[in-house]
Amino acid sequence: MSTHPEPALQTTGLRKAFGDHVAVDDVDLTVPAGSFYGLVGPNGAGKTTTLAMAVGLLRPDAGSARIFGVDVWHDTVQAKALVGVLPDGNAMPERLTGREVLTYLGLLRGLPAGVVAERTDELLQVFELDAAERTLVIEYSTGMRKKIGLAVALLHAPRLLVLDEPFEAVDPVSAATIRAILSKFVDSGGSVIISSHVMALVEQLCDHVGVMSDGRVVAAGPLADVRGTATLEDAFVGLVGAQSRGTEGLAWLTA
Ligand SMILES: Nc1ncnc2c1ncn2[C@@H]1O[C@H](COP(=O)(O)OP(=O)(O)OP(=O)(O)O)[C@@H](O)[C@H]1O
């Protein structure tokens, strides 16, 4: 694990309300440098909103976020240089091919043209998007969009990756490739945060987890501490409350 003295990400008192609804309420998270961190929680728990505020995509109502000690909302340019982001929904120019997107965003980030060309070739190949050279991103499948989004996140060789649901809609072969890339990134000193609903995957990949429910962090720390003697899935259900709904109602379905 990296010996960097500052956490890869530290949020303090993050809060965001949409109208009357408090989506994220006083969230403190510490992601140690060199860790592979899984942020889990039920639908609507506030994971996407928290990550968006943590990386400078959504302004918090209160609180702060630091990436390797750099304040995201005061030194935004410096902080953003340290982080690669796969946002929810993948906002990127769509009427371009994958190669054009990477070239455009790489040059926009200030990378030398030669470096952009070299990394673009390699990323398209590793994510197996090179076969779709002439396909526009708007024509990509959901899984292909996820992969080009990941390639964009990696392009400037950040030290922290923040990935919202990176495995959603990705086929098993591509998922294995992504897992291998992320594990290699962490092994070489990088830090990764993923949000996911797939507990088995988080359990397999991550060494730290944070569990969110109703906009708050209900447990966080090393995987072994949060999980205890149970599986992460059991611990998760215990923490966020078992839902009895689903076994009741819909009588007409079985009539
Ligand atoms: N732009 C928005 N306007 C209004 N409400 C929003 C907005 N974004 C999120 N919310 C609400 O904030 C809450 C948290 O949403 P968020 O997307 O952060 O949860 P999540 O944990 O990422 O959920 P999921 O696992 O379903 O992706 C939800 O109640 C959601 O409806």
- List, for residues 120-170, the tens digit of each pLDDT value: 999 999 999 998 888 999 999 888 998 999 999 999 999 999 999 999 888
| 95/137 Cα distance (integer angstroms) | 6
Using only the alpha carbons of the chain, give its radius of gyration: 19
pLDDT in tens, 190-213: 999 999 988 889 999 999 999 999
Taken in order 14, 232, 35, 89, the sign of the CA dihedral is negative
Question: What is the distance in A from the centroid of ligand 1 to the CA of 49?
Answer: 6
Give the count of alpha carbons within 13 A of 23, CB side only.
Answer: 17
Query: What is the SS3 assignment for 126?
Result: helix
Question: What is the distance in A from the centroid of ligand 1 to the CA of 23?
Answer: 7
pTM: 0.91
ipTM: 0.97
5 confidence band (pLDDT: 50, 70, 90): confident
Q: Which CATH architecture has domain 9-90+159-173+181-254?
A: 3-Layer(aba) Sandwich (3.40)
Q: Ligand 1 pocket: which residues have CB below 6 Å?
A: 18, 21, 23, 41, 43-49
Question: What is the distance in A from the centroid of ligand 1 to the CA of 50?
Answer: 9
- Count the neighbouring beta carbons within 10 Å of the beta carbon of residue 47: 25
